[in-house]
Structure formats: C-alpha cells, structure tokens
Amino acid sequence: MQSKYVPVSVYPVDDSRRESAPVSRFAIPVLLGALVGVLAWPHAIWLAPLALLLLPVLNNRHWLAPFLLMLGYHLATTYGLIKGTSVFFLHSGLFLGIGFWSLSSLVFALPYLAYPYIALYFRGGSPAGGGFGAVTATVITSAISTIFPPLGIIGWTSPWLGAVAAGPTGILLTILGISALGYWDRKNQDIPVRLLMAGIVVFNLWLLGFAFPALAEQVPALDDMMGHPLPTAPAGWVGINTHLGRLRSNLSYVDASMEMAPKILADLRSGDKVVLLPETVAGPWLPGTRAIWRPVIRWTARHPEQIVLLGADVPLTKGYLDALVKIQDGHQTVLPDHIPVPFSMWHPWHPRDSFRMAPFSRKPETTEIDGKKVGYLICYEQLLMWPALDLYPHGIQVLLAPANDWWARGTDIPAIQRASAKAWGAFFGVPVLFAVNR
C-alpha cells in the first residue's frame, strides 16, 4: 500500500504552563485552607467544618494536599500568636512569635500526611467504600491533630468546633457530608465541580436547621448565629471583667487583691449570689493573700448561699495549680484546671515555676453551686477540645469561663476564645459565664 502524506501544523509547546502546574497543585490547598480559616474564625465558626469537607475533595489531587490544606487553615487561624508571644515574652521579640506560629501550625498539619493512606486502606476495593474511607481518615487525623493529647494540648481552632456549635446534630451532619463527598469524589474528577459541591454541602448542612423548626430547637447555636442569645446565667450569677493588665510581681498581685476584695464584698452585700473573677488575678494563694480576702471569706460564713470563685495560683511542693478558689460558707475549695498554657505557664524544664499539667486527670472540672452541676474551663482550656469533651458525661448546667487575656490584646485570640466557649455552651445547651482580665 502507498502511504499518504498529510501535512500537520506543529505549534510550539508552552512550557510555562507545565512548570506552573506543580506550583498551583501545592498552592491551591494552602490557599483554600487559609480562606476557610479566615472566614470561620472568630465570627463564623460554623464554616470551620468546611476544612474537613474539603479533605476528601482534594485528596486525589496530590498526596500532600490534605497536609497543605490544614497547614493553610492553621496558619490563618493562629497568626495572633505572633503578636501575643512577643508581648508575653518581652525579651524574645518578634522571632519567637513567628516560630511558635509556624511550628505549631506545622505540627497540627503533620498527622494529615497519613490521610491518603488511611483513606485508601479503609476504602477497600469497591467504590462504595470511598465514603467510609474518607470519614475514617478525617476522624483519625483530625483527632490526632486537635483532640487527643499530646497534640490536643496545643490543638486550638479545631475545625470540629464549628460542628460542636450546632450540637451533636452538627457533628452527625458533618460526618454525613464527609461521607457523601468521599463517595462522590470517586465518581467525579473535575476539581472546580468538586469544590462547588463541597460548598453546596456545607451550605445545606447548616440550613437544615432552619428548614425544620423541630431541629432548630435542638441547635441553640443556630439561634445565636441569627442574633438570638444563648441561655442566660441564673439570676444573681455575675462575671467580673477587670482591666488590671499584666501583674508582674507578687506585690502587684497584692495591690490587685486589695483593690478587688472591697468591691466584691460590696457586690455580695448588694445581693449577688455567685461572683466569678478572672483567671490568676489573685496571684499566689498564700497566707498574706488569704488575709486580704478574709472579709469576703467571713461574709460567706454568715451567708452560705453566696459564693465567690477567684482565679489564683495555688502553690504545690513544686510549681503551682492554675485554679479557681471557691469561697463558700467560710471555707476555701481549690478547683484546679487540667491544661495550662504550654511554654508560658507549663514548662517542665523548670518545675518550681511551672503550673501542673494533668490532661488525663480523673477528677472532672466540675463543682456544685446553688444546687446546680457546674463545669469550668479556665482560660486556655476554652480553646481546646479535650478538656471540654471530658465535661460531656457529667451533665453540667452552667459553664464557667474565666480568662486572663492581657497578653493577647490587639489580636483575635480573645474573640476566638470567646467563640470557642460559646460553642461549648451551645453543645451542652447551657449558659456560659465569662470573667476576663484584659
């Protein structure tokens, strides 16, 4: 046979697109994660689960995509550490803040390197296994990253907190959304369409409460998002906000106590039943400090129905407890926290000046006040998942949220902390009582 020659026009190959493809492959997950983080925290945390929903969508793009997505998310949500650290550690400057911010974000994201392998293992050979694999990989990696110790003791701005804000229903809907996207992702490889589908899923998940009034009644956080308040604290329960700033020495704590004690006594005389003060404002709980508060202690002995909860550092043989001192009926009861702030409060390399870290303590952070079961999360604990989940089996009726945020002024950290505490209040269906020193 005679071959036929057909002239074909040859166009030059654009190598620039080929070279830029790997860059965009890595940049898109980081930018998407950062976008979710910026939009969600601190004013729309119900968007935070979108980061979880994007994991199965981006998983097939590259094995690094889940890691890069969560790295971008945490870089965007924790950048307040840069300024906050430089304020707290005066002599360390900006570089220590940048180090804490970047390294903590990297550590939060590291478990997601295993995401594609976990998803593949649980996916099995059938297409129907995709959803289960996606859910399993998401739960395992996110739990390691921001829920369970050891990473759980630094794992703030967990994307699960947005689901928590809608109660158990929100968690269930998020899991169903991940499962649906994990299955559908195997059928459709078009990235823009998959991203659009993820947005539609998260939008419909949170509108579901409005579509069914019976469900909305079970999701108090949805009312809060629409401008309706969470349940209010019992009558006579007050949280005292202070503007003491940084208390640098034992003498400054003495001065603060001498200023606060008469005011609290006046509040009790005016009829307040339960008074909550911020974290650590009384400083070391020593005989001299107790002497300053003795008029308040004596008042509660004569009026046992009135209670003061005072943030203090309770000395141990080595180090301190970050605690609330409950003053009732003339007695003092120490209510310790489980997880103080790493590095600034908990530093085991110098135990005499360190606060106790006890994430696996069997003593729940609860107490009885005015016939009610009360839970408390002291400052940093409000940002985490682990100590709050420990309260779930105890059926609390009020959540106390004392904090000391002087070092975070000018950052979004106090707002993130408040949003996290409100999310837990919504999850438990209870009022949250705040007391913050700025």
Q: 225, 251, 286: which is the final residue of a domain?
A: 225
φ, ψ dihedrals at 270, nearest 5°: -80, -10
Cα distance between residue 9 and residue 5, in whole Å:
13
Q: 175, 195, 225: which is the final residue of a domain?
A: 225
202 and 264 within one domain? no
Of residues 177 and 310, the one with the higher pLDDT is 310
Give the per-residue pLDDT at 46. 85
Q: Show the domain range for 141.
A: 15-225
Q: Is the pLDDT of residue 237 over 70?
A: yes
Q: Which residues 6+ apart lie within 8 Å of 60 measured at CB?
A: 185, 189
Q: What percent of the chain has pLDDT over 70?
A: 82
308 and 285 within one domain? yes
* Joined tokens for residue 4: 């036929």
Q: Is the pLDDT of residue 229 over 80?
A: no
Asked if residue 231 is part of any domain, the answer here is no
Most confident of 101-115, 155-169, 170-184: 101-115
Q: 205, 225, 245: which is the final residue of a domain?
A: 225
Q: Is the pLDDT of residue 10 over 50?
A: no
Give the per-residue pLDDT at 220. 44
242 and 217 within one domain? no
Give the per-residue pLDDT at 214. 36
Note whether 283 and 253 are within 8 A (CB).
yes
Residues paired with 310 in a beta bridge: 325
User: Which whole-number Å values give the CA distances from 343 to 34, 144, 153, 156, 303, in the listed order?
Assistant: 26, 21, 11, 15, 41
Give the per-residue pLDDT at 372. 96
176 and 59 within one domain? yes
b/e sequence 193-230, b meaning 16+ C-beta within 10 Å: ebeebbeebbeebbebbeeeeebbeebbbbebbeeeeb
Most confident of 52-66, 146-160, 175-189: 146-160
CA 297, distance to chain mean position in Å, is 34
- The domain tally of the chain equals 2
* CATH code for the domain in which residue 429 is found: 3.60.110.10
Asked if residue 9 is part of any domain, the answer here is no
Asked if residue 7 is part of any domain, the answer here is no
Cα distance between residue 297 and residue 79, in whole Å:
42
277 and 358 within one domain? yes
Residues composing the chain: 438
177 and 29 within one domain? yes
161 and 88 within one domain? yes
Task: State pLDDT tens for residues 312-361.
Answer: 999 999 999 999 999 999 999 999 999 999 999 999 898 888 999 999 99
Cα distance between residue 214 and residue 236, in whole Å:
32
Note whether 424 and 164 are within 8 A (CB).
yes
